[in-house]
Chains A and B, each alone.
Chain A
Amino acid sequence: MRSIISLELLKNLQDRGLLFWMLLLPILFTVLFISVFTSGTEGVAREQVILSIVPGYTVMFVFFILITMIANFIKDRELGMTARIASTPLPAYKYLLGKWIPYMYIVFVQILVLLLFGKLVYDIPLEQPLSLLIVSLLLTFTVTGIGLALSLLVKTNNMGIAITQVIALGGAVLSGLWMPIDMMPSFIQSFSKFLPQYWAHQAFQQGMEGTMQTSDILLPASVLLLYGATAFTIAILRYPAFLKMARG
Protein backbone atom coordinates (compact mmCIF):
# COMPACT_ATOMS: atom_id res chain seq x y z
CA MET A 1 0.00 0.00 0.00
CA ARG A 2 2.88 2.36 0.79
CA SER A 3 4.12 1.89 -2.76
CA ILE A 4 0.88 3.32 -4.17
CA ILE A 5 0.83 6.15 -1.63
CA SER A 6 4.35 7.26 -2.51
CA LEU A 7 3.74 6.98 -6.26
CA GLU A 8 0.49 8.94 -6.07
CA LEU A 9 2.07 11.63 -3.93
CA LEU A 10 4.96 11.91 -6.36
CA LYS A 11 2.53 12.26 -9.27
CA ASN A 12 0.39 14.84 -7.55
CA LEU A 13 3.31 16.94 -6.33
CA GLN A 14 4.42 17.27 -9.95
CA ASP A 15 0.99 18.47 -11.01
CA ARG A 16 1.06 22.25 -11.11
CA GLY A 17 -2.61 22.36 -12.05
CA LEU A 18 -3.40 20.91 -8.67
CA LEU A 19 -1.49 23.72 -6.97
CA PHE A 20 -3.62 26.24 -8.84
CA TRP A 21 -6.95 24.55 -8.03
CA MET A 22 -6.18 23.77 -4.45
CA LEU A 23 -4.33 26.86 -3.25
CA LEU A 24 -4.06 29.78 -5.67
CA LEU A 25 -7.69 29.87 -6.80
CA PRO A 26 -9.16 29.61 -3.28
CA ILE A 27 -6.84 32.36 -2.04
CA LEU A 28 -7.79 34.58 -4.98
CA PHE A 29 -11.51 34.02 -4.39
CA THR A 30 -11.18 34.55 -0.66
CA VAL A 31 -9.39 37.86 -1.18
CA LEU A 32 -11.84 38.94 -3.87
CA PHE A 33 -15.00 38.12 -1.94
CA ILE A 34 -13.73 39.53 1.34
CA SER A 35 -12.93 42.80 -0.40
CA VAL A 36 -16.40 42.85 -2.03
CA PHE A 37 -18.40 41.93 1.07
CA THR A 38 -16.44 44.07 3.52
CA SER A 39 -16.44 47.24 1.47
CA GLY A 40 -18.19 49.87 3.52
CA THR A 41 -18.12 47.80 6.70
CA GLU A 42 -15.90 48.19 9.71
CA GLY A 43 -15.24 46.76 13.13
CA VAL A 44 -17.31 43.80 14.34
CA ALA A 45 -19.38 43.56 11.14
CA ARG A 46 -16.22 43.27 9.04
CA GLU A 47 -14.76 40.67 11.38
CA GLN A 48 -17.96 38.62 11.19
CA VAL A 49 -17.88 38.62 7.40
CA ILE A 50 -14.25 37.52 7.38
CA LEU A 51 -14.94 34.91 10.03
CA SER A 52 -17.61 33.45 7.78
CA ILE A 53 -15.83 33.72 4.44
CA VAL A 54 -12.43 32.25 5.36
CA PRO A 55 -13.74 28.94 6.72
CA GLY A 56 -16.64 28.99 4.24
CA TYR A 57 -14.40 29.23 1.19
CA THR A 58 -11.99 26.75 2.72
CA VAL A 59 -14.82 24.22 3.08
CA MET A 60 -16.10 24.96 -0.42
CA PHE A 61 -12.77 24.72 -2.19
CA VAL A 62 -11.63 21.48 -0.56
CA PHE A 63 -14.46 19.81 -2.47
CA PHE A 64 -12.76 20.60 -5.78
CA ILE A 65 -10.32 17.80 -5.03
CA LEU A 66 -13.13 15.56 -6.29
CA ILE A 67 -12.32 16.57 -9.88
CA THR A 68 -8.69 15.52 -9.53
CA MET A 69 -9.58 12.27 -7.78
CA ILE A 70 -12.19 11.31 -10.38
CA ALA A 71 -9.83 12.15 -13.27
CA ASN A 72 -7.07 10.09 -11.69
CA PHE A 73 -9.23 7.00 -11.20
CA ILE A 74 -10.77 7.25 -14.67
CA LYS A 75 -7.29 7.56 -16.18
CA ASP A 76 -6.14 4.45 -14.31
CA ARG A 77 -9.25 2.61 -15.45
CA GLU A 78 -8.86 3.60 -19.10
CA LEU A 79 -5.10 3.04 -19.32
CA GLY A 80 -5.38 -0.43 -17.82
CA MET A 81 -3.52 0.38 -14.62
CA THR A 82 -6.48 -0.67 -12.47
CA ALA A 83 -6.63 -4.08 -14.14
CA ARG A 84 -2.88 -4.48 -13.97
CA ILE A 85 -2.81 -3.75 -10.26
CA ALA A 86 -5.70 -6.19 -9.79
CA SER A 87 -3.41 -8.90 -11.17
CA THR A 88 -0.89 -8.24 -8.38
CA PRO A 89 -1.17 -9.50 -4.78
CA LEU A 90 -2.33 -6.06 -3.60
CA PRO A 91 -5.86 -6.45 -2.11
CA ALA A 92 -8.60 -4.15 -3.40
CA TYR A 93 -8.99 -2.32 -0.10
CA LYS A 94 -5.26 -1.56 0.02
CA TYR A 95 -5.40 -0.29 -3.55
CA LEU A 96 -8.26 2.03 -2.59
CA LEU A 97 -6.55 3.18 0.60
CA GLY A 98 -3.32 3.71 -1.30
CA LYS A 99 -5.09 5.93 -3.80
CA TRP A 100 -7.11 7.69 -1.08
CA ILE A 101 -4.49 8.58 1.52
CA PRO A 102 -2.37 10.89 -0.71
CA TYR A 103 -5.45 13.02 -1.30
CA MET A 104 -5.98 13.20 2.45
CA TYR A 105 -2.49 14.68 2.79
CA ILE A 106 -3.20 17.16 0.01
CA VAL A 107 -6.57 18.30 1.38
CA PHE A 108 -5.26 18.54 4.93
CA VAL A 109 -2.37 20.72 3.79
CA GLN A 110 -4.84 22.79 1.75
CA ILE A 111 -7.02 23.44 4.82
CA LEU A 112 -4.00 24.38 6.92
CA VAL A 113 -2.66 26.75 4.28
CA LEU A 114 -6.03 28.46 3.75
CA LEU A 115 -6.63 28.92 7.49
CA LEU A 116 -3.09 30.17 8.02
CA PHE A 117 -3.56 32.54 5.12
CA GLY A 118 -6.66 33.88 6.90
CA LYS A 119 -4.67 34.27 10.08
CA LEU A 120 -1.70 36.01 8.46
CA VAL A 121 -3.61 38.32 6.14
CA TYR A 122 -6.89 38.97 7.96
CA ASP A 123 -5.84 38.10 11.49
CA ILE A 124 -8.74 35.70 11.98
CA PRO A 125 -8.83 34.19 15.47
CA LEU A 126 -7.74 30.56 15.88
CA GLU A 127 -8.75 30.27 19.52
CA GLN A 128 -9.07 26.48 19.75
CA PRO A 129 -6.32 25.04 17.55
CA LEU A 130 -6.88 21.46 18.73
CA SER A 131 -10.58 21.59 17.85
CA LEU A 132 -9.74 23.17 14.50
CA LEU A 133 -7.21 20.42 13.87
CA ILE A 134 -9.79 17.73 14.61
CA VAL A 135 -12.39 19.37 12.38
CA SER A 136 -9.77 19.72 9.62
CA LEU A 137 -8.92 16.03 9.85
CA LEU A 138 -12.57 15.03 9.82
CA LEU A 139 -13.37 17.28 6.87
CA THR A 140 -10.37 15.83 5.03
CA PHE A 141 -11.64 12.32 5.69
CA THR A 142 -15.16 13.19 4.52
CA VAL A 143 -14.24 15.09 1.37
CA THR A 144 -11.71 12.58 0.11
CA GLY A 145 -14.03 9.71 1.07
CA ILE A 146 -16.78 11.22 -1.06
CA GLY A 147 -14.18 11.72 -3.80
CA LEU A 148 -13.20 8.07 -3.60
CA ALA A 149 -16.80 6.87 -3.85
CA LEU A 150 -17.57 9.18 -6.76
CA SER A 151 -14.38 8.15 -8.56
CA LEU A 152 -15.62 4.60 -8.64
CA LEU A 153 -19.21 5.51 -9.49
CA VAL A 154 -18.72 8.09 -12.22
CA LYS A 155 -18.25 6.91 -15.79
CA THR A 156 -16.71 9.94 -17.51
CA ASN A 157 -14.64 12.97 -16.60
CA ASN A 158 -17.37 15.36 -17.71
CA MET A 159 -19.85 13.62 -15.48
CA GLY A 160 -17.35 13.94 -12.63
CA ILE A 161 -16.88 17.67 -13.21
CA ALA A 162 -20.65 18.23 -13.34
CA ILE A 163 -21.28 16.30 -10.12
CA THR A 164 -18.40 18.08 -8.38
CA GLN A 165 -19.88 21.48 -9.31
CA VAL A 166 -23.25 20.43 -7.92
CA ILE A 167 -21.73 19.14 -4.69
CA ALA A 168 -19.22 21.96 -4.18
CA LEU A 169 -21.26 24.95 -5.33
CA GLY A 170 -24.73 23.63 -4.49
CA GLY A 171 -23.50 22.49 -1.09
CA ALA A 172 -21.86 25.87 -0.53
CA VAL A 173 -25.10 27.76 -1.17
CA LEU A 174 -27.27 25.41 0.86
CA SER A 175 -24.84 25.22 3.78
CA GLY A 176 -24.38 28.94 4.24
CA LEU A 177 -20.79 29.09 3.03
CA TRP A 178 -21.52 32.08 0.81
CA MET A 179 -23.92 33.95 3.04
CA PRO A 180 -25.07 33.42 6.61
CA ILE A 181 -27.46 30.48 6.92
CA ASP A 182 -29.82 32.59 9.07
CA MET A 183 -30.67 34.62 5.98
CA MET A 184 -31.89 31.50 4.14
CA PRO A 185 -35.51 30.25 4.04
CA SER A 186 -36.35 27.87 6.85
CA PHE A 187 -36.60 24.79 4.62
CA ILE A 188 -33.05 25.39 3.38
CA GLN A 189 -31.91 25.85 6.96
CA SER A 190 -33.45 22.47 7.80
CA PHE A 191 -31.97 20.85 4.70
CA SER A 192 -28.49 22.20 5.43
CA LYS A 193 -28.33 20.01 8.55
CA PHE A 194 -27.93 17.01 6.25
CA LEU A 195 -24.88 18.44 4.50
CA PRO A 196 -21.29 17.92 5.69
CA GLN A 197 -20.38 21.43 4.55
CA TYR A 198 -22.77 22.98 7.07
CA TRP A 199 -21.34 21.05 10.00
CA ALA A 200 -17.74 21.66 9.00
CA HIS A 201 -18.41 25.37 8.59
CA GLN A 202 -20.19 25.68 11.92
CA ALA A 203 -17.45 23.73 13.72
CA PHE A 204 -14.71 25.84 12.13
CA GLN A 205 -16.44 29.07 13.15
CA GLN A 206 -16.90 27.86 16.72
CA GLY A 207 -13.29 26.70 16.94
CA MET A 208 -12.06 30.02 15.61
CA GLU A 209 -14.15 32.06 18.02
CA GLY A 210 -13.26 29.74 20.89
CA THR A 211 -16.88 28.93 21.74
CA MET A 212 -16.72 25.18 21.08
CA GLN A 213 -17.38 22.92 24.07
CA THR A 214 -16.17 19.31 24.08
CA SER A 215 -19.74 18.16 23.59
CA ASP A 216 -20.21 20.57 20.68
CA ILE A 217 -17.77 18.73 18.50
CA LEU A 218 -19.56 15.40 18.78
CA LEU A 219 -22.40 16.13 16.38
CA PRO A 220 -20.33 17.64 13.54
CA ALA A 221 -17.69 14.93 14.05
CA SER A 222 -20.35 12.21 13.85
CA VAL A 223 -21.89 13.64 10.69
CA LEU A 224 -18.51 14.03 8.99
CA LEU A 225 -17.35 10.58 10.07
CA LEU A 226 -20.59 9.01 8.93
CA TYR A 227 -20.27 10.61 5.49
CA GLY A 228 -16.64 9.48 5.12
CA ALA A 229 -17.24 5.94 6.33
CA THR A 230 -20.34 5.53 4.16
CA ALA A 231 -18.40 6.78 1.15
CA PHE A 232 -15.56 4.32 1.74
CA THR A 233 -18.06 1.48 2.11
CA ILE A 234 -19.67 2.49 -1.18
CA ALA A 235 -16.23 2.54 -2.80
CA ILE A 236 -15.40 -0.96 -1.56
CA LEU A 237 -18.76 -2.29 -2.75
CA ARG A 238 -18.44 -0.53 -6.09
CA TYR A 239 -14.87 -1.70 -6.78
CA PRO A 240 -15.77 -4.99 -8.56
CA ALA A 241 -18.00 -3.13 -11.03
CA PHE A 242 -15.28 -0.51 -11.50
CA LEU A 243 -12.78 -3.28 -12.24
CA LYS A 244 -15.15 -4.80 -14.79
CA MET A 245 -15.17 -1.49 -16.68
CA ALA A 246 -11.37 -1.32 -16.61
CA ARG A 247 -9.40 -1.87 -19.80
CA GLY A 248 -6.47 -4.23 -19.98
Chain B
Amino acid sequence: MLKLNQVKKQYGKNVALRDVSLNLSSGKCYGLVGPNGAGKTTLLKIIASIIQDFHGSVEFTNSPQAYSKELIGYIPQEICLEETVTARDNLSFFGKVYGLKGQMLRTRINHVLNDIGLTEKAKHRVNTFSGGMKRRLNIGCALMHTPDLIIMDEPTVGIDPQSRRYIFSMIEKLKDEGCTIIYASHYMEEIEQLCDEAIFIDKGMVVENDRVDVLLQKYVTPSIYLKGENCIPEEKGDFSLSPRKDGYLLLTDNPIEVMQRVIIHCKNHATQPEQLELSQARLEDVFFSLTGSQLRD
Protein backbone atom coordinates (compact mmCIF):
# COMPACT_ATOMS: atom_id res chain seq x y z
CA MET B 1 0.00 0.00 0.00
CA LEU B 2 2.66 2.53 1.05
CA LYS B 3 6.38 2.19 0.79
CA LEU B 4 8.89 4.43 2.52
CA ASN B 5 12.38 4.08 1.19
CA GLN B 6 15.35 5.39 3.18
CA VAL B 7 13.58 8.50 4.36
CA LYS B 8 15.92 11.03 5.95
CA LYS B 9 15.15 14.42 7.40
CA GLN B 10 17.41 16.94 9.09
CA TYR B 11 16.56 20.21 10.85
CA GLY B 12 19.83 22.11 10.66
CA LYS B 13 22.33 19.85 12.40
CA ASN B 14 19.64 17.80 14.15
CA VAL B 15 18.81 14.55 12.42
CA ALA B 16 15.09 13.91 12.90
CA LEU B 17 14.86 10.78 10.76
CA ARG B 18 17.62 8.54 9.48
CA ASP B 19 17.04 5.98 6.76
CA VAL B 20 13.51 5.02 7.68
CA SER B 21 12.20 2.28 5.41
CA LEU B 22 8.76 0.80 5.89
CA ASN B 23 6.30 -1.23 3.88
CA LEU B 24 2.69 -0.83 4.92
CA SER B 25 0.00 -3.23 3.72
CA SER B 26 -3.61 -2.39 2.90
CA GLY B 27 -6.31 -2.79 5.51
CA LYS B 28 -4.01 -2.90 8.51
CA CYS B 29 -3.67 -0.64 11.49
CA TYR B 30 -0.10 0.34 12.35
CA GLY B 31 0.75 1.77 15.74
CA LEU B 32 3.53 4.34 15.65
CA VAL B 33 5.26 4.47 19.00
CA GLY B 34 8.25 6.29 20.38
CA PRO B 35 9.41 8.70 23.08
CA ASN B 36 9.01 12.45 22.69
CA GLY B 37 11.32 13.77 20.01
CA ALA B 38 11.81 10.33 18.46
CA GLY B 39 10.71 11.54 15.03
CA LYS B 40 7.10 10.32 14.94
CA THR B 41 5.49 13.62 14.00
CA THR B 42 8.17 14.32 11.40
CA LEU B 43 7.51 10.91 9.86
CA LEU B 44 3.74 11.51 9.84
CA LYS B 45 4.21 14.96 8.29
CA ILE B 46 6.38 13.48 5.57
CA ILE B 47 3.82 10.79 4.77
CA ALA B 48 1.06 13.43 4.77
CA SER B 49 3.20 15.60 2.49
CA ILE B 50 3.28 18.52 4.89
CA ILE B 51 7.07 18.24 4.88
CA GLN B 52 8.31 17.95 1.34
CA ASP B 53 12.02 18.66 1.63
CA PHE B 54 13.38 15.28 2.71
CA HIS B 55 15.61 12.59 1.28
CA GLY B 56 14.28 9.21 0.21
CA SER B 57 10.87 8.41 -1.19
CA VAL B 58 7.28 7.81 -0.15
CA GLU B 59 5.21 5.90 -2.70
CA PHE B 60 1.85 4.26 -2.96
CA THR B 61 2.29 0.79 -4.39
CA ASN B 62 -1.34 0.14 -5.28
CA SER B 63 -2.10 3.41 -7.05
CA PRO B 64 -1.45 4.53 -10.62
CA GLN B 65 0.18 7.65 -9.18
CA ALA B 66 3.31 7.26 -7.08
CA TYR B 67 1.90 9.71 -4.56
CA SER B 68 -1.49 11.32 -4.25
CA LYS B 69 -2.79 13.52 -1.45
CA GLU B 70 -6.32 12.39 -2.28
CA LEU B 71 -5.51 8.96 -0.86
CA ILE B 72 -4.59 10.34 2.54
CA GLY B 73 -6.68 11.61 5.42
CA TYR B 74 -4.55 13.39 8.01
CA ILE B 75 -5.85 13.87 11.53
CA PRO B 76 -3.46 16.11 13.46
CA GLN B 77 -3.01 16.01 17.19
CA GLU B 78 -4.37 19.54 17.50
CA ILE B 79 -8.05 20.17 17.01
CA CYS B 80 -7.92 21.93 13.66
CA LEU B 81 -11.43 23.19 13.16
CA GLU B 82 -13.03 26.53 12.49
CA GLU B 83 -14.70 26.99 15.84
CA THR B 84 -16.96 29.92 14.97
CA VAL B 85 -18.84 27.99 12.29
CA THR B 86 -20.94 24.83 12.47
CA ALA B 87 -19.91 21.18 12.30
CA ARG B 88 -21.59 20.96 8.89
CA ASP B 89 -19.61 23.99 7.64
CA ASN B 90 -16.36 22.36 8.73
CA LEU B 91 -17.16 19.08 7.00
CA SER B 92 -18.34 20.93 3.93
CA PHE B 93 -15.10 22.91 3.80
CA PHE B 94 -12.88 19.83 3.91
CA GLY B 95 -15.12 18.00 1.45
CA LYS B 96 -14.83 20.88 -1.03
CA VAL B 97 -11.06 21.04 -0.59
CA TYR B 98 -11.00 17.44 -1.83
CA GLY B 99 -13.20 18.29 -4.78
CA LEU B 100 -16.59 17.08 -3.52
CA LYS B 101 -19.63 19.11 -4.50
CA GLY B 102 -23.39 19.03 -4.95
CA GLN B 103 -25.31 15.93 -3.96
CA MET B 104 -22.14 13.91 -3.40
CA LEU B 105 -20.93 16.47 -0.87
CA ARG B 106 -24.24 16.53 0.97
CA THR B 107 -24.38 12.73 1.07
CA ARG B 108 -20.87 12.47 2.44
CA ILE B 109 -21.54 15.14 5.09
CA ASN B 110 -24.61 13.25 6.32
CA HIS B 111 -22.75 9.95 6.25
CA VAL B 112 -19.77 11.29 8.19
CA LEU B 113 -21.99 13.13 10.69
CA ASN B 114 -23.70 9.82 11.35
CA ASP B 115 -20.38 7.99 11.71
CA ILE B 116 -19.01 10.48 14.21
CA GLY B 117 -22.29 10.66 16.12
CA LEU B 118 -22.92 14.36 15.52
CA THR B 119 -26.00 14.32 13.29
CA GLU B 120 -28.03 16.11 15.96
CA LYS B 121 -25.34 18.75 16.39
CA ALA B 122 -24.69 19.39 12.70
CA LYS B 123 -25.95 22.96 12.81
CA HIS B 124 -24.33 23.87 16.11
CA ARG B 125 -21.22 26.00 16.24
CA VAL B 126 -18.08 24.06 17.09
CA ASN B 127 -17.19 26.39 19.97
CA THR B 128 -20.22 25.02 21.83
CA PHE B 129 -18.92 21.43 21.58
CA SER B 130 -17.26 19.33 24.29
CA GLY B 131 -13.68 18.13 23.84
CA GLY B 132 -14.84 14.68 22.75
CA MET B 133 -17.23 16.09 20.15
CA LYS B 134 -14.47 18.27 18.72
CA ARG B 135 -12.15 15.28 18.55
CA ARG B 136 -14.77 13.28 16.65
CA LEU B 137 -15.37 16.14 14.25
CA ASN B 138 -11.61 16.53 13.85
CA ILE B 139 -11.55 12.90 12.70
CA GLY B 140 -14.66 13.31 10.56
CA CYS B 141 -13.08 16.13 8.55
CA ALA B 142 -10.34 13.75 7.41
CA LEU B 143 -12.86 11.10 6.36
CA MET B 144 -14.91 13.25 4.00
CA HIS B 145 -13.10 12.09 0.86
CA THR B 146 -13.01 8.39 1.90
CA PRO B 147 -9.20 8.13 2.01
CA ASP B 148 -7.38 4.82 1.68
CA LEU B 149 -4.74 5.78 4.24
CA ILE B 150 -5.67 7.52 7.47
CA ILE B 151 -2.99 9.11 9.61
CA MET B 152 -4.00 9.69 13.21
CA ASP B 153 -1.69 11.62 15.50
CA GLU B 154 -2.79 11.00 19.09
CA PRO B 155 -6.52 11.26 18.37
CA THR B 156 -7.65 10.49 21.90
CA VAL B 157 -5.70 13.07 23.89
CA GLY B 158 -7.79 14.76 26.56
CA ILE B 159 -11.13 13.04 26.09
CA ASP B 160 -13.39 11.02 28.36
CA PRO B 161 -13.64 7.19 28.24
CA GLN B 162 -16.99 7.28 26.42
CA SER B 163 -15.62 9.39 23.58
CA ARG B 164 -12.49 7.24 23.47
CA ARG B 165 -14.58 4.11 23.14
CA TYR B 166 -16.62 5.75 20.40
CA ILE B 167 -13.46 6.68 18.51
CA PHE B 168 -12.18 3.12 18.89
CA SER B 169 -15.36 1.76 17.36
CA MET B 170 -14.97 4.23 14.48
CA ILE B 171 -11.44 3.01 13.91
CA GLU B 172 -12.55 -0.64 13.99
CA LYS B 173 -15.20 0.21 11.39
CA LEU B 174 -12.62 1.93 9.18
CA LYS B 175 -10.41 -1.15 9.43
CA ASP B 176 -13.34 -3.35 8.43
CA GLU B 177 -13.89 -1.11 5.42
CA GLY B 178 -10.32 -1.78 4.31
CA CYS B 179 -8.63 1.48 5.29
CA THR B 180 -5.00 1.45 6.25
CA ILE B 181 -4.41 3.36 9.45
CA ILE B 182 -1.27 4.80 11.00
CA TYR B 183 -2.03 5.45 14.63
CA ALA B 184 0.51 7.43 16.66
CA SER B 185 -0.04 7.37 20.37
CA HIS B 186 1.71 7.33 23.73
CA TYR B 187 -1.06 5.13 25.14
CA MET B 188 0.30 1.61 24.74
CA GLU B 189 -2.96 -0.05 25.66
CA GLU B 190 -4.59 1.72 22.69
CA ILE B 191 -1.92 0.39 20.36
CA GLU B 192 -2.39 -3.12 21.77
CA GLN B 193 -6.13 -2.92 21.40
CA LEU B 194 -6.35 -1.35 17.94
CA CYS B 195 -3.24 -2.09 15.97
CA ASP B 196 -2.17 -5.14 14.02
CA GLU B 197 1.44 -4.06 13.98
CA ALA B 198 3.57 -1.69 16.01
CA ILE B 199 6.38 0.44 14.66
CA PHE B 200 8.79 1.57 17.36
CA ILE B 201 10.79 4.62 16.47
CA ASP B 202 13.58 6.12 18.52
CA LYS B 203 16.25 8.72 17.75
CA GLY B 204 14.98 8.94 14.20
CA MET B 205 15.24 5.24 13.46
CA VAL B 206 12.80 2.38 13.30
CA VAL B 207 14.06 0.18 16.11
CA GLU B 208 11.38 -2.51 15.83
CA ASN B 209 8.45 -3.23 13.56
CA ASP B 210 6.32 -6.34 13.86
CA ARG B 211 2.95 -7.78 14.81
CA VAL B 212 1.92 -6.77 18.31
CA ASP B 213 1.59 -10.37 19.53
CA VAL B 214 5.02 -11.25 18.12
CA LEU B 215 6.59 -8.27 19.89
CA LEU B 216 4.98 -9.21 23.18
CA GLN B 217 6.32 -12.73 22.83
CA LYS B 218 9.73 -11.51 21.81
CA TYR B 219 10.33 -8.85 24.45
CA VAL B 220 8.18 -9.65 27.44
CA THR B 221 9.08 -12.48 29.82
CA PRO B 222 5.89 -14.16 31.06
CA SER B 223 5.40 -13.68 34.77
CA ILE B 224 3.19 -14.32 37.76
CA TYR B 225 2.32 -11.72 40.33
CA LEU B 226 2.34 -13.09 43.86
CA LYS B 227 1.45 -11.33 47.08
CA GLY B 228 1.43 -13.06 50.45
CA GLU B 229 3.59 -14.29 53.36
CA ASN B 230 5.64 -17.51 52.93
CA CYS B 231 4.19 -18.28 49.53
CA ILE B 232 7.36 -18.43 47.44
CA PRO B 233 8.81 -21.90 46.91
CA GLU B 234 12.37 -22.22 48.30
CA GLU B 235 13.53 -24.04 45.18
CA LYS B 236 13.49 -21.28 42.57
CA GLY B 237 14.41 -23.50 39.64
CA ASP B 238 13.01 -21.99 36.49
CA PHE B 239 11.88 -18.59 37.77
CA SER B 240 13.48 -15.46 39.08
CA LEU B 241 12.08 -12.87 41.47
CA SER B 242 11.51 -9.20 40.93
CA PRO B 243 9.86 -7.02 43.60
CA ARG B 244 6.70 -5.29 42.40
CA LYS B 245 4.30 -3.20 44.53
CA ASP B 246 3.66 -5.17 47.78
CA GLY B 247 4.56 -8.52 46.25
CA TYR B 248 6.80 -10.14 43.69
CA LEU B 249 6.89 -10.88 40.01
CA LEU B 250 7.98 -14.42 39.26
CA LEU B 251 9.58 -14.23 35.85
CA THR B 252 9.52 -17.53 33.99
CA ASP B 253 9.08 -19.18 30.64
CA ASN B 254 6.65 -21.69 32.20
CA PRO B 255 4.16 -19.60 34.13
CA ILE B 256 1.51 -22.34 34.47
CA GLU B 257 4.00 -24.79 35.97
CA VAL B 258 5.40 -22.19 38.34
CA MET B 259 1.89 -21.27 39.38
CA GLN B 260 1.13 -24.90 40.16
CA ARG B 261 4.31 -25.09 42.25
CA VAL B 262 3.27 -21.99 44.18
CA ILE B 263 -0.15 -23.50 44.89
CA ILE B 264 1.39 -26.78 46.05
CA HIS B 265 3.88 -24.88 48.20
CA CYS B 266 1.08 -22.90 49.81
CA LYS B 267 -0.95 -26.07 50.46
CA ASN B 268 2.04 -27.79 52.04
CA HIS B 269 2.77 -24.79 54.26
CA ALA B 270 -0.87 -24.11 55.05
CA THR B 271 -0.67 -20.54 53.79
CA GLN B 272 -2.83 -18.68 51.36
CA PRO B 273 -1.63 -16.01 48.91
CA GLU B 274 -3.46 -12.69 49.02
CA GLN B 275 -3.06 -12.40 45.29
CA LEU B 276 -1.84 -14.85 42.67
CA GLU B 277 -2.30 -14.09 39.01
CA LEU B 278 -0.76 -14.45 35.62
CA SER B 279 0.71 -11.09 34.65
CA GLN B 280 -0.39 -9.86 31.31
CA ALA B 281 2.36 -9.09 28.82
CA ARG B 282 2.17 -5.36 28.05
CA LEU B 283 3.38 -3.33 25.13
CA GLU B 284 4.67 -0.77 27.59
CA ASP B 285 7.30 -3.32 28.66
CA VAL B 286 8.31 -3.67 25.00
CA PHE B 287 8.53 0.11 24.80
CA PHE B 288 10.86 0.31 27.79
CA SER B 289 12.92 -2.61 26.51
CA LEU B 290 13.46 -0.82 23.23
CA THR B 291 13.78 2.79 24.30
CA GLY B 292 14.90 2.59 27.92
CA SER B 293 13.19 4.18 30.87
CA GLN B 294 15.23 7.37 31.12
CA LEU B 295 13.49 10.71 30.73
CA ARG B 296 13.67 12.22 27.26
CA ASP B 297 13.65 16.00 27.04
Interface of A, secondary structure class, is helix
What chain B residues lie within 8 Å of A243 (beta carbons)?
50
Q: Could you give, for residues 87-130 of chain B, a 1 whenever the CB lies within 8 Å of some chain A CB and a 0 otherwise?
A: 00100111011110000000000000000000000000000000
Interface size on A, residues (CB 8 A): 24
Most buried by A among B69, B76, B92, B94: B76
Q: Could you give, for residues 128-168 of chain B, a 1 whenever the CB lies within 8 Å of some chain A CB and a 0 otherwise?
A: 00000000000000000000000001000000000000000
CB pair A79 B79 closer than 8 Å: yes
Please judge, given known A-B contacts A3-B97, A7-B93, A10-B89, whether A87 and B49 are in contact too, CB under 8 Å: yes
Interface size on B, residues (CB 8 A): 26
Q: How far is the CA of A2 from the CA of B92 in the complex (A)?
A: 12
Whether B189 sits at the interface, judged by CB under 8 Å, is: no
**Of A2, A10, A84, A90, which is within 8 A of B80 by CB?**
A84
CB pair B97 A248 closer than 8 Å: no
Whether A45 sits at the interface, judged by CB under 8 Å, is: no
Q: How far is the CA of A85 from the CA of B77 in the complex (A)?
A: 14
Closest to B94 in A: A88
What chain B residues lie within 8 Å of A86 (beta carbons)?
49-50
Closest to A80 in B: B78
Most buried by B among A3, A81, A83, A87: A87
**Of B53, B69, B82, which is within 8 A of A88 by CB?**
B69
What chain B residues lie within 8 Å of A215 (beta carbons)?
none
CB pair A248 B80 closer than 8 Å: yes
Q: How far is the CA of A248 from the CA of B81 in the complex (A)?
A: 12
Please judge, given known A-B contacts A86-B50, A87-B48, whether A11 and B84 are in contact too, CB under 8 Å: yes
Q: Could you give, for residues 11-27 of chain A, a 1 whenever the CB lies within 8 Å of some chain B CB and a 0 otherwise?
A: 10011000000000000
What chain A residues lie within 8 Å of B264 (beta carbons)?
none
Please judge, given known A-B contacts A10-B85, A11-B84, A87-B49, whether A248 and B77 are in contact too, CB under 8 Å: yes
Most buried by B among A4, A80, A248: A248
What chain B residues lie within 8 Å of A84 (beta carbons)?
74, 76, 80
Whether A89 sits at the interface, judged by CB under 8 Å, is: yes
What chain A residues lie within 8 Å of B53 (beta carbons)?
240
CB pair A87 B72 closer than 8 Å: yes
Q: How far is the CA of A86 from the CA of B78 in the complex (A)?
A: 15
Whether A247 sits at the interface, judged by CB under 8 Å, is: yes
What chain B residues lie within 8 Å of A90 (beta carbons)?
97
CB pair B78 A89 closer than 8 Å: no
Q: Could you give, for residues 226-254 of chain B, a 1 whenever the CB lies within 8 Å of some chain A CB and a 0 otherwise?
A: 00000000000000000000000000000
8 Å CB interface, A56-113 against B? 79-81, 83-90
CB pair A11 B85 closer than 8 Å: yes
CB pair A2 B96 closer than 8 Å: yes
8 Å CB interface, A187-223 against B? none
CB pair B93 A80 closer than 8 Å: no
Closest to B49 in A: A87
What chain A residues lie within 8 Å of B72 (beta carbons)?
87
Whether B70 sits at the interface, judged by CB under 8 Å, is: yes
What chain A residues lie within 8 Å of B69 (beta carbons)?
87-89
User: What are 30 inter-chain pairs, A to B, with CB distance below 8 A?
Assistant: A3-B96, A4-B93, A4-B97, A7-B82, A7-B93, A11-B85, A14-B84, A14-B85, A15-B84, A80-B78, A83-B76, A83-B80, A84-B74, A84-B80, A86-B50, A87-B48, A87-B50, A87-B69, A87-B72, A89-B70, A89-B97, A90-B97, A240-B53, A243-B50, A246-B50, A247-B76, A248-B50, A248-B76, A248-B77, A248-B78
5 more contacts with CB within 8 A, not counting A80-B78, A90-B97, are: A3-B93, A83-B80, A84-B76, A89-B98, A243-B50
